[in-house]
Chains A and B, each alone.
Chain A
Amino acid sequence: MALEIEFVSPFDVAKDFAAAVQEYTLLAGQSVANFFRRPLYMADMVQQADLIGVGSLPIVILTGLSVGALLALNAASTLQRFGGITLIGQLVSIGMVTELGPLITGLMVAGRNASGMASELGSMIVTEQIDAMRALGTDPTKKLITPRIGATAFMLFFLTIIADLLGLIGGYAVAHLIFGLNTRQYWTSVWQILVFRDVFTGLIKPVLFGFIISTVGCYYGISTRGGTQGVGRSTTQAVVAASVLILIVDFFVTKLIFAIFGYR
């Protein structure tokens, strides 16, 4: 079989990209508007919350603990040189609550759930189940996408809090067991360094990341073409796009919050 290489003009690529952004925006907008339209599929939302939230708990616990411990371990070697080992709690606290907690949880859930959503909806597309749903008088964006958005944003908020807490515990374990830092000293510095801005930053991000994960996962799922191979392609693209978008949005949200509240 001869291998055919097809050259695509940059204009076509740009046009396809613009069309995809337009479709994604419309889908996301419509899905959010569905929160204010009846019927609201609460049972589906609870089911998704269980799948996304409870299902992601083990991986979030594991990564939260590891990241907190690693953060403490890496910071301690530098801090020790300047005699500032007591600052380890502050460093872990700021790092986990404002940045690493939401980011790592977002990326983990993106890997697990954006792919799950893309493959599930993609399979429904190729087996005509979405068409069947429309033919049976049900709006698939209401039934399938809106519950996933609500559930992901809601559960990622709590998963991030859990990841933050476990990161702090991981950091404490390293600081106390390896570097002999006093328990009260660690937790006092953890608590005292945090200001409203840090907590606000750390809790607004997971809601945005949850929105990105679910809308990107659902968008790639619902726009699947080309059978089972297409499902695989959508799944991969969903994870990559969601992860990249999370990193980009994370940067701009952090910058925006600094602009609003000022630098520390």
Chain B
Amino acid sequence: MSAPTLPIEKSASAITSMSNYAIEFENVSIAFDEHEVLNDVSFRLNHGETKAVFGVAGSGKSTLLKMAVGLLKPDSGRISVLGEEITSMNEQQLFELRRRVGIVFQESALFDSLKVYENVGYRLLEEKTSPEEIERRVREVLRFVELERTYDMYPSELSGGMRRRVAIARAIITEPEVLLYDSPTGGLDPVTSNTIVELIMKQRDVYKTSALMVTHRLQDAFTMATHQFDQATNQMVLLPKGKNCDVPMSFLILRDCKVIFDGDAHQLAASKDDYIREYIS
């Protein structure tokens, strides 16, 4: 199934930043009421790279994502996003930074009292962009996620997969430099999951957007590591022989509040750790 084109003038926006890493966690810890969630977590996300974050339920994956956009503050440690240290920022400063970061929530988190076009164009509406410009850009991104027909509908009228795609459209409409996906394919059928994986892959390969992707589905991450988006055919294709896993894709595994693996697909496949072997088998 091919993904439609998104006629955004600016591509490869992700590499414009001068910072070394898109996201950097340094010795980050967080606990909720004495319950430790993340302990001394460190990792880096390179520009243009997509990092899949794995871990069992409750291992702190979503917490990690929320900290990356400043929705939660760590108890200790340092987090940098696009070269700016966000741990010391106040909410007002974070609002500015968040304009450069898009996030897709686990349950989509669409505003249920707003129509699809208001949801997707929310940032543009807040920035007082002209109505014609908003309509043009909303239709573009909705076409990108193949949901232009839902323009005037309410989120409650959409299926789970459609809501997820609308949430992706909302996240990418301002062409963010970093995208954060929280279980983008969770609970979806294989066909819809594949469409969403293809959209994420297109963001990675065509628009060079850096991304953290929290997921339970190992097969989605392996698809992303073994395929690339082909602009000519406008769909994902298997990487040619000899270039296996030669895409900006890495893996991060959390266990017992800590990072137990951070590396690419080759390193993951070569891991001797029993837990990791069991996890990927």
Contacts and interface: CB of A to CB of B under 8 A. Distances in A.
Interface of A: 39, 127-129, 131-139
A137 B95 contact: yes
Contact of A137 (B105, B109, B110, B126): B126
A135 B123 contact: no
B109 A139 contact: no
A135 B126 contact: no
A39 B123 CA distance: 14
Contacts of B99: 137
A136 B126 contact: yes
Given A132-B103, A134-B95, 6 more contacts: A128-B106, A128-B107, A131-B71, A135-B103, A137-B95, A139-B92
Contact of A132 (B95, B109, B126): B109
A131 B180 CA distance: 13
B275 to A, nearest CB: 30
Given A135-B98, A136-B123, A129 B71 contact: no
B66 interface: yes
A39 B66 CA distance: 25
B133 interface: no
Contacts of A128: 105-107, 109
Interface in B102-122: 103, 105-107, 109-112, 122
Contacts of B91: 134, 139
Contacts of B109: 127-129, 131-132
A131 B112 CA distance: 14
A137 B126 CA distance: 9
4 residue pairs, one from A and one from B, having the closest CB atoms? A132-B109, A128-B109, A137-B95, A135-B103
A129 B107 CA distance: 10
B69 interface: yes
Categorize the interface residue count of chain B: 20 to 34
A222 to B, nearest CB: 14
6 contacts: A131-B105, A132-B105, A132-B111, A137-B99, A137-B123, A137-B126
Contacts of A136: 98, 122-123, 126, 170
A230 to B, nearest CB: 15
A241 B110 CA distance: 30
Contact of B95 (A127, A131, A138): A138
Nearest to B111: A129
Given A127-B112, A139-B91, A134 B107 contact: no
Nearest to A128: B109
**Which of A39, A129, A134, A136 counts the most B-chain CB atoms under 10 A from its CB?**
A136
Contact of B71 (A39, A127, A134, A138): A134
B174 to A, nearest CB: 9
Nearest to B122: A136
Interface in B78-136: 91-92, 94-96, 98-99, 101, 103, 105-107, 109-112, 122-123, 126
Contacts of B107: 127-128
Contact of B98 (A39, A127, A129, A134): A134
A127 B96 CA distance: 24
A77 B164 CA distance: 67
Contacts of A39: 126
Contacts of B170: 136
A74 B170 CA distance: 61
